[in-house]
Structure 1
Amino acid sequence: MAEPDELLFMIDVDDTLLDNDRFAVDLTERLDMAFGKEECERYWRIYDERRESLGYADYLGTLQTFRFQNADEPNLLQMSQFLLDYPFAERLYPHALAVVRHLRVMGGAIVLSDGDIVFQPHKIRRSGLWDAVEGRVLVYLHKERMLDVVQRHFPARRYVMLDDKPHLLAAMKRRLGDQLTTVFVRQGHYAAKAASLEIDPAPDMAVDRIGDLLGFARSDFEASAPALRTGDG
């Protein structure tokens, strides 16, 4: 077994390091242009149904189902190419890669994401995040339920989780207790929806932008029960 890291940062992808909301806007515009408003809305209805049944975002599977009632094969092929060629590196939030480098100076770092087993790893590679963490990437259906597996793959004395979904952070905190410091990154539509909710336990730290973490030091994450800290700006 690998020697445990003293401190391991586990970093979410969508709306934490990468502006997935912008990707959804671009995809909507492309669908509308290729198929029209009604068909665009049908794509997103299928997407919502599959997300509800599968528990993760399935853009490729949604396109497969979408084709059953749409015979416009050339446009369908162009849509598949759009998804595979999408410039995810251009959708990283400002300073996202610098933050990953900064965290790696302070401890180990991995990408820990929810998603499907094909498109999500593809997105992580195309964005440059795969190389940024030297391939230390885990993708699960429900990462908050996989912490035992995460600990087996990447043992550490203390963990830090960065995510835009505070309910996931709370679920992880309930599992790992004081061994985990949770950092709420208040970006994207999930974070906005959570603003009016009471989360228990509340995140240990919160920042408005991922780039704010460049102002944090290792000592900010090492206390056994850190007080809530909010990033500047």
Structure 2
Amino acid sequence: MRDEPLFLFDVDNTLFDNDRMNRDLDARLRRALGEEAVRRYRQAYERRRDACGYADYLGSLQDLREPGVNDAQLVEVSTFLMEYPFADGVFPGAMDALARARNAIILSDGDVVFQPHKIRGAGLWDAVDGRVLIHVHKEKMLQQVASAHPAPHYVMVDDKLGLLAAIKRAWGDRVTTVFVRQGHYAMDDAANASHPPANITLDHISQFADADILERASQRRARDD
């Protein structure tokens, strides 16, 4: 066990602009198959997310398939998705945040095909030396995370206030929660009003390096001890 906090970083809308990728995907789908296809895709996307607990981008495309009718157009869209310039979607300051944290891993929700592909393509995988965990519901995997990566204190950095609240309930003083107000979940004030505030709130991940979070987390650990 290292004698410093372990930083757990979410990916989508925390380190990577996932909302932008979704807008780009909708635009490509619209050009290939029209507005109705976008509507049907998003319906399939929501249906699969409710059923699986994570975003299934590729499976949702499969749901649009009409053999002999739209195969070529869907291949065009799937190729766009797999070849997306993920590195361009990394938020300014995200790499600096990982470097500043030093002892960091990525803890992400997602499927086991597209999500690791995205993380690798964005350069985030290499930035944490391959220390990447991908679960369906990461807030339910905390015991496994702690067993695999023991640390005297944890810092969870995420754009979902509800998830941070769940982790805080589970880990209590073992964790410092950092809420990054980026993306549509973070900006949903009505939904977030039902959750307690995080220990630290940032308007953008670029503020991480200048927020002395390592020092603040260490101070919290010292008080808790």
TM over 0.5: yes
The SS at the match of 2:104 is strand
Which residue matches 1:71?
A: 69
Structure 1 CA distance for aligned equivalents of residues 153 and 146 of structure 2? 10
The SS at the match of 2:15 is coil
Select which of 124, 130, 154 maps to 1:135.
Answer: 130
Structure 2 CA distance for aligned equivalents of residues 199 and 222 of structure 1? 28
Structure 2 CA distance for aligned equivalents of residues 68 and 146 of structure 1? 38
Please provide the CA RMSD for this pair. Answer: 1.8
1:149-228 map, 5 Å: 149-194=144-189, 197-217=192-212, 218-224=214-220
Which residue matches 2:25?
A: 27
The SS at the match of 2:220 is coil
From the superposition, tell whether residues 215 and 195 of structure 1 become closer, same or farther in structure 2 (CA, over 3 Å).
Answer: farther
Structure 2 CA distance for aligned equivalents of residues 200 and 48 of structure 1? 23
From the superposition, tell whether residues 41 and 196 of structure 1 become closer, same or farther in structure 2 (CA, over 3 Å).
Answer: closer
Query: TM-score, with normalisation over the residues of structure 1?
Result: 0.90
The SS at the match of 2:176 is strand
Unaligned runs of 5+ in 1: 227-233
Select which of 76, 88, 92 maps to 1:94.
Answer: 92
- Is the 2:54–2:109 contact (alpha carbons within 8 Å) kept by the matching residues of 1? yes
Which residue matches 1:229?
A: none
1:176 to partner: Cα distance: 0.5
Letter in 2 for 1:57: A
Which residue matches 1:231?
A: none
Structure 2 CA distance for aligned equivalents of residues 73 and 191 of structure 1? 36
Q: Give the share of equivalent positions with the same residue, in percent.
A: 49
How many correspondences in the alignment? 222
- Is the 2:159–2:182 contact (alpha carbons within 8 Å) kept by the matching residues of 1? yes
- Is the 1:166–1:194 contact (alpha carbons within 8 Å) kept by the matching residues of 2? no
- Is the 2:135–2:141 contact (alpha carbons within 8 Å) kept by the matching residues of 1? yes
1:199 to partner: Cα distance: 4.3
Which residue matches 1:111?
A: 106
